[in-house]
Amino acid sequence: MNNEFYIGWLPKAPAGIAKHIRRILIILLPLVIIIAVTLALLQKKFDTGNFEFGKLTEVKGIYFTKPIPMIKVINGKDIWGNISYINIPLVGYGKHGAGGIISDLEKEKNISFDQRELTLKGTLLYNDGKTILQVSAGDKPLLHVADIKAPTEFLPQQKELGIAKVKGEIIDPKCYFGVMKPGEGKVHRDCAIRCILGGIPPMMRVMNKKGQNNYYIVVDAEGEKMNKAVQDYVGEPVEMEARLVQYDDWIVMYVKDIKNTSRISFLSMLRPNDMVISCNSGCMK
C-alpha cells in the first residue's frame, strides 16, 4: 500500500512519479532537438533559379534551330585566342515553346532566321550555370536580323560522345531554371507535362561523379522533337539509352526508342552516371 498513485485532478504528482518523469524528459528533450535539427538539414535547399519577371533584356547572337531553337552569344575571345560564347535556348510566353513566335517573325520578314545574327528582346531565366531567354509576341522581340548568314566558325561545333545509358529526371527547363520553385519532381509533374506538350523542349537533369547537376537536351534519333513521347516519364527518375553529342556548351541526347526507357528508384538516380559530361562552363571553349 506504499506505492504512489497519481490522481489527475490533484495539483501536483507524487514526488516519486514526478522524479521519474523528469528523468524521462531530460533524455527526450535533447533527442527531440537532435531529430528536429537533422530533419531540417535534410530538407532540400531553396532553389536559386532566377526569373527576371517584368525586365526585358536585349540579346544579340547567332540563331539556329537544331537541336532546339537557340541563340549563340559571342563574347569575343579569351586570353588563348579561343572564341568565348554561351548558347541560350529560347522559350515562348506561358507554357509554349519559341518555335511558333520565331516562325511568325520569319513570315513577317519573309526570310529564314537560321544561322543569321539576331538581336532579340526578352526575359532571362538562369540557374546552375545555364541561361534561357523567354520571347513573347507582345514584347515585339525582334530588333534586328542580319542580311547574310554567319560564318561556319561561329556555328555550334559538334562532337560525338558515344552511346550511353543515362540516369536522371526529365524536366521542363523554363520552370526548372527560374519560373517555378520547386520546378522538378512529382509536385511539379503536371505543370512540367503541360509545358513540354506546349512546345518547351524537354531536358534531362543528371548528376556527375562530383554530385553536380548537368542538363541534357532530349530529342529523338533523327533530332526531331519528342515532347509527346516523353510525357509519361516527366518528373520521375528514369534511365534512358541515347547517343550523346556535344553541341558547344550543351549535350544532346538522341533517343533511339523511348520504349527502352525504364523507371528507376530515386536512390539509383542519385548514384553517379557511368558517362556524364559536364558542359556548364563550355566544353569546347
pLDDT for res 224: 93
Span 29-70, pLDDT tens digits: 989 999 988 887 776 666 667 888 889 999 999 999 989 999
Q: What is the mean pLDDT of the chain?
A: 86
36-66 residues labelled b (16+ CB within 10 A) or e (exposed): eeeeeeeeeeebebebeeeebeebebbbbee
Average pLDDT over residues 176-188: 79
State how far the Cα of 209 lies from the Cα of 276, in Å rounded to an integer.
Answer: 8
Residue 281 has a pLDDT of 46
Which range, of 50-64, 66-80, 186-200, 232-246, averages the lowest pLDDT?
66-80
Q: How far is CA 168 from the centre of its chain?
A: 11
Q: Residue 285 — pLDDT band, cuts 50, 70, 90?
A: very low
Query: Looking at residue 162, what is its pLDDT?
Result: 92
Residue 242, all three cell numbers? 541515347
Q: In the prediction, which pLDDT does 205 show?
A: 92
- In order of their start, the domains of the chain are 50-154 (2.40.50), 158-270 (2.40.50)
Q: What is the pLDDT of residue 277?
A: 61
Fill in the DSSP letter of residue 235: T
Per-residue model confidence as pLDDT tens digits over 85-134: 899 999 999 999 999 999 999 999 999 999 999 999 999 998 888 999 99
Cα(235)–Cα(9) distance, rounded to whole angstroms?
A: 55
Q: What is the mean pLDDT of residues 171-196?
A: 85
**Whole-prediction pTM:** 0.78
Ordered DSSP codes for 98-117 = SHHHHHHHHHHHTS--TTEE
pLDDT of residue 255: 95
Q: Count CB neighbours of 257 within 10 A.
A: 12
pLDDT of residue 62: 94
